[in-house]
Structures are given as structure tokens and as C-alpha cells.
Structure 1
Amino acid sequence: MAGDFAHICGSDALPERLRGAVVAIGNFDGVHRGHRAVLDRALEEARRLGAPALVLTFDPHPRTLFRPDIPLFRLTSSAMKARLLDACGFDGMVEQTFDLDFAGLTAEEFVATILVERLGIAHAVTGFDFHFGKARSGGPAFLMEAGGRHGFGVTLVDAFRDEGAEIVSSSRIRDLLAEGEVAEAAGQLGYRFAVEAEIVGGEKLGRTLRYPTANMMLSPDTHLAHGIYAVRMRRAGGSLHDGVASFGRRPTVTEDGAPLLETFLFDFSGDLYGETCRVGFFARLRGEEKFDGLDALTRQMKRDEAEARAVMEKAQPLSELDAALHFAAL
């Protein structure tokens, strides 16, 4: 990854070196293969013009402002999205605060204040159905007309379809992950789904069973199916470690525990407490089960370990992005 990637949040000033950029515009939650059609087109245009390549995205997701009653399973946190865009080859990500004031801008105000004054863009690239401004009043035709008036180019990209001719979308990927279909979700994303969180203390039951785990409390809106997974963890320092993880409420040992991600790393000993680590999900081995006592649980854990080892020994990168996230040493 480049190392000089700029993550600009809220009203932070844009570095002068990034003005006059080609800007891909959208939410890009998941940075999936459908998004890559837009993102790759922006990178191509930036190379053609000899300009920086930026992504303009929005935080929080607009749906959380307009439909706060419906929890949103975000596929990528802001930090994770920035890492993915850095790996794609962008020079920076501008994360525009999406609040009531911003949502109240007219389409012309969005173009004039954000695209022209703040970013000074040379070219905009977005999906064919992108709408913006108060009440979604601005669309592709308006953006192209505004670009002509303000002196920037516009490229619209058609929806990307997978090998089965279905449109790749964030909502479809969320549904797959909620069903535990992490391998199929990876095919849509173009890389293995991953989460990042701080390692926290637990009840240390795994240690007494000779399966010590690194525990993560994920966002309550992480609607990943409960179960057992073959995983790869990247530590804060960059090292990679294979393992087997349980995500769920631990029904054998507790009645109403909060969902917890517990990862047992193969052939590893060390203190991970306080580190922010990344866990990538390579395969779902089984659903969550309640066992008749700890002995039965331990026997199943040994079977899970063997199966996860076999999965991880055969794992190969799905793409350059997958390789950067889950295979390349840092």
C-alpha cells in the first residue's frame, strides 16, 4: 500500500497536491466488484489526465440519517474503506459528513461548494444512477450539464453484473453474510470479508480448554451469521496468523451472552490484548451449536481446528486486493 494515502474527514482541508483530481463519487460500502467498475474507471481517467485519483464518500451512510430506525450492517468501517481504496491505488479518500445541513444542499450547491470550491475537481466518475442534492434533485444529466458549466468532465458507469448476469450490490452481499455464505460473498466483494476491532479480555474459558482465544466485540449491526469459521488474522504489526473463529453467543457456556468473535490462532502464543487486529473469513464450517457439556464442546473444537487448518492450507488469493489484505506480509 502506498503509505501516503490521505484520509480527509469532515471539513478538514484538502492537501493542495490533491486538487484538480479525478474523483469517484459514491458510498462504496464494501468496495465490491460493482464499485470497482466505477473506481477502476476513475483510476484510468486519472492516469490519462496525469491527475490525482480521489474518492468522495459520505459518513455516516445516508440511510442512517433518513432511516435511523433500520440498523445498517456496514460492510466496511471508515478505516477499512480507506485501506481498501489505498490498496486499489487511490491517492486519498474525502469523507464528507452526511448530516442535515449537508442533506439540505441543493444539487447546484453540492456541485459548487463541494466539487468545485473544496475539491477543484478535473473529472467526476460515478454510477449511472447516482443522485445527489436535496430530495435527490440532481442526477446524471444535471451532473453532466453542471460539469460543462464549471469546467470538469463527467463519466457515468453502467451497473456491473457478475458471471450469472446479476447486479453486484452491497445489499446482496449483506444478505449473503447474514446467511453465513462468506465464500459467495467473497466472490461478490472480490476479496474475503474482514472485520477490524480491538482484542479484549474474556472469561478465559478457552484457555482452560487449551484453546485460548483472541476476543473481539463487533458492532451490534454486524449481521454475520453465527457459527464457526476458518479465518486469517492480521496483527497490528502486519504479521498473518491462521485460525478458527467462533462468532455468536456461546450457548454451551452462557444463556444470553452478547455476540462475540473468539479466534483461536494456530501455533501461536503471545499477548494480543489492546491490539487492533483484522480477521478475514475464508469459510464457514458449521453453525453455532449447544453441546452437552465441555467435553463434547472440546471434541468438536478439535474437529473444527483440523477442518480449518485444511481450508487455510489450500487458500489462494482471489484478486490483487485479496492478496494485499490477507496474504501479503507488511
Structure 2
Amino acid sequence: MRIVRGIASVRDSDKGTVAAVGNFDGVHLGHQTVVEEAGRVARGLNVPLSVLTFEPHPRTLFQQGAAPFRLTGSESRAEAIAALGVSVLFEIVFSQDFSQISAEDFVALILKDSLGLRHVVCGYDFVFGHRRRGTPDMLQTLGRDAGIGVTCMPAAAETDGAVYSSTRVRQCIAEGDPKGAADLLGRPWSFTATVEQGDRRGRTIGFPTCNLRIVDLVQPAHGVYAIWVRVENEANWLPGVANFGRRPTVNDRGALFEAHLFDVERDLYGKRLSIRVIDFIRPEMRFTGLDELTAQIAKDASRARKILS
């Protein structure tokens, strides 16, 4: 999948696609129905399938200082989108200047002139343009005038009628329910981070860890998780166990995601790791000392091995 970051990077060969458009935070099952419909239209027109999204998330610009809420960073979102068979990802820079573009100019200048789209597919709640004035109905009208086909998808829901939404996924993650999040995403929730230097205390008790920070993303419930880990530029997923929290038993360096990889002895400092969070094992606990902590980690690791087996 080709990733086009910014309008200035668009080539003539990128134009003429059918695009699914939206923020696609998390790329959950509801988002996937939008991309699947765009794929169906693209095949009918015999043109490539693309996704048009925005970076950073518009909410980041308008609610500066708010608690992190994103489910996926740019890297993880692109990986999830690529898995849907998308040929081109247009990642438009959402700046203060871009936020001032009117709904009419968004269609005329971005969708038509800059991207040359043949057809656009959006979700039922898609809004665009200055002050979010553009609606799916307006997109259909403006698209027709610009010669762009438009399909607006209804809300996708589970069998019980609950609509798939990024808000529900965030709630699952914040409440320590990664399995519930996976049910809504269609895959495990994941994130990517760089291994930091730590105090190497884990090595002294037989459980070396990779110290990661979950930056600018929704924060999961503090506790212990069964995880899969992939090292950058490698194909294999490695099993492991991780604690996310403030480490109440030892010195507090802020919230850290400490991942222990089973049966792996490697120096991974500075490496980018992709983490799939599979299941919640227990809440974060305070121990009387390192002996009690070590014994509990061994129990957690055994439990994680069983979950991942």
C-alpha cells in the first residue's frame, strides 16, 4: 500500500480511485464495512481502492490538553488499513489552516481537484469542512455537482443492535477488557512503541522487560496482560506477559508498559515493538518486596502462556 502524506505528495498516478473517507480511529468493524463497500465500488469501476483520512486526528487540534483518546497512531492505523486490501492511503495533514476549509471547498479542491476521486464512501456520522458543517447529505449533493459518486453507509451494528464505535472500543480498553475491544475491532488492540532504557531490575529477578510508553493513545487499565510482540522488520510474533502501570512496589517512573518476552534473550533497546494486547490477567498490585513480586510474576507468566497457547 502506498501512503501519501499531504496533498503536495499526490502523484497523477494516485488519482482516479474510489475512496473510503473518515478518521478511522481503531479501524473497527464498522469502519471496515465502509472500506469494504468502497472496495466493491472500486472493483465495479475497475479502479484502485483508497482510504482518505486525517493526521493528526481533528479532535487533537480542537481539544488540546485533553486526555489521550486515540486507539491507533498513524503507523498502526496504516497497518490495519493495508490489511483490508487498500492500494493507496491518503493521509491529509489536519492543521489549523486545513480546518478553515469550507465544506464546499473540501469537495471541490480536495476530493475533485487534488485527488481526482471517482467515488467516495463515508459513514453515517461523517462530518467535514469548517465547523463540521458538511454532512453525508451535503456530501452527496456536492459530490453530484462535482461529478463524484457518493455512498453513505448506515451504522453497522452487532446482532444485539449495539453500534460499532471507537467510543465503545476505548471504554473496553480503559476498563481492562481487551477481549471486548477485539470483538469490536475484529482483531486484538495493538500499539507500537520504542524500547526505552530502564533500571534493569527485571534482569536481576529473572524477568527482563522491554520498557515502553503508550504515548498519545488511550491508556489501558493498569494491570497485567497476556501479549504478542513483534520486533521491527521481523515477521514472527513472540508470546509474552506485560504489566502496565506505575510500578507501586519499586521506584515510580510514571506509567510504563513493561513487556517480558518468553524464552527470548536479546538486547532490544531502541527497537520499535508492535504489541498485541490479548487478555487481562489481574489488576496492578503492591507487594511487600521483590521476593513476593518475583513469585507473582512467575504465576502471571504461567497464566499468560496458557492464554496464548
1:248 aligns with 2:245: yes
- 2:167 partner SS: helix
Distance in 2 of aligned mates of 1:257 and 1:221: 18
RMSD: 1.2
For structure 2, the residue ranges without an aligned partner over 5 or more in a row are none
Deviation of 1:220 after TM superposition, in Å, equals 5.5
Q: Which amino acid aligns with 1:242?
A: P
**Cα offsets for 1:255-302 (capped at 9, x unmatched):** x42111111111111111111010101100000000011111111111
Q: Which amino acid aligns with 1:262?
A: E
Structure 2 counterpart of 1:213: 209
Query: What's the TM-score once normalised by structure 1's chain length?
Result: 0.91
- 1:231 partner SS: strand
| Alpha-carbon contact 2:170-2:218 (below 8 Å) kept | no
1:32 aligns with 2:28: yes
1:55 aligns with 2:65: no
Structure 2 counterpart of 1:119: 115
Q: Which amino acid aligns with 2:29?
A: R
Distance in 2 of aligned mates of 1:308 and 1:267: 13
| Alpha-carbon contact 1:58-1:97 (below 8 Å) kept | yes
Which residue among 135, 150, 156 is the counterpart of 1:139?
135
Query: What's the TM-score once normalised by structure 2's chain length?
Result: 0.97
| Alpha-carbon contact 1:232-1:280 (below 8 Å) kept | yes
Q: Which amino acid aligns with 2:307?
A: V
| Alpha-carbon contact 1:29-1:74 (below 8 Å) kept | yes
| Alpha-carbon contact 1:55-1:93 (below 8 Å) kept | yes
1:161 aligns with 2:157: yes
Structure 2 counterpart of 1:320: none
Structure 1 counterpart of 2:236: 239
| Alpha-carbon contact 1:202-1:215 (below 8 Å) kept | yes
Deviation of 1:128 after TM superposition, in Å, equals 2.0
Between 149-158 and 135-144, report the one with greater CA deviation.
Answer: 135-144
| Alpha-carbon contact 2:73-2:217 (below 8 Å) kept | no
| Alpha-carbon contact 2:158-2:164 (below 8 Å) kept | yes
Q: Which amino acid aligns with 1:285?
A: I
Distance in 2 of aligned mates of 1:145 and 1:122: 15
Distance in 2 of aligned mates of 1:104 and 1:222: 27
Deviation of 1:240 after TM superposition, in Å, equals 1.6
Distance in 1 of aligned mates of 2:126 and 2:184: 21
| Alpha-carbon contact 2:22-2:53 (below 8 Å) kept | yes
Structure 2 counterpart of 1:129: 125
- 1:88 partner SS: coil
Distance in 2 of aligned mates of 1:111 and 1:220: 30
Structure 2 counterpart of 1:319: none
Percent identity over the alignment is: 41
Distance in 2 of aligned mates of 1:193 and 1:84: 10
Structure 2 counterpart of 1:308: 304
1:287 aligns with 2:283: yes
Distance in 2 of aligned mates of 1:99 and 1:234: 32
Superposed, 1:221-232 pairs within 5 Å as: 221-232=217-228
1:258 aligns with 2:254: yes
Distance in 1 of aligned mates of 2:239 and 2:4: 33
Distance in 2 of aligned mates of 1:137 and 1:230: 44
**Cα offsets for 1:41-74 (capped at 9, x unmatched):** 1111111111111111111111122222322321
Structure 1 counterpart of 2:85: 89
Distance in 2 of aligned mates of 1:23 and 1:63: 22
Distance in 1 of aligned mates of 2:191 and 2:7: 27
Q: Which amino acid aligns with 1:263?
A: A
Which residue among 279, 282, 299 is the counterpart of 2:295?
299
Structure 2 counterpart of 1:318: none
Which residue among 20, 37, 54 is the counterpart of 2:16?
20
Distance in 2 of aligned mates of 1:126 and 1:290: 47
For structure 1, the residue ranges without an aligned partner over 5 or more in a row are 314-330
1:42 aligns with 2:38: yes
Deviation of 1:83 after TM superposition, in Å, equals 0.9
Distance in 1 of aligned mates of 2:159 and 2:219: 26
Aligned structure 1 segments of 4 or more residues deviating by more than 6 angstroms = none
Structure 2 counterpart of 1:198: 194
What is the total number of aligned residue pairs between the two structures? 308
- 1:162 partner SS: coil
| Alpha-carbon contact 1:64-1:71 (below 8 Å) kept | no
**Cα offsets for 1:79-124 (capped at 9, x unmatched):** 1111111111001211111122111111111011100011000000
Distance in 1 of aligned mates of 2:287 and 2:306: 24
Distance in 1 of aligned mates of 2:109 and 2:25: 24
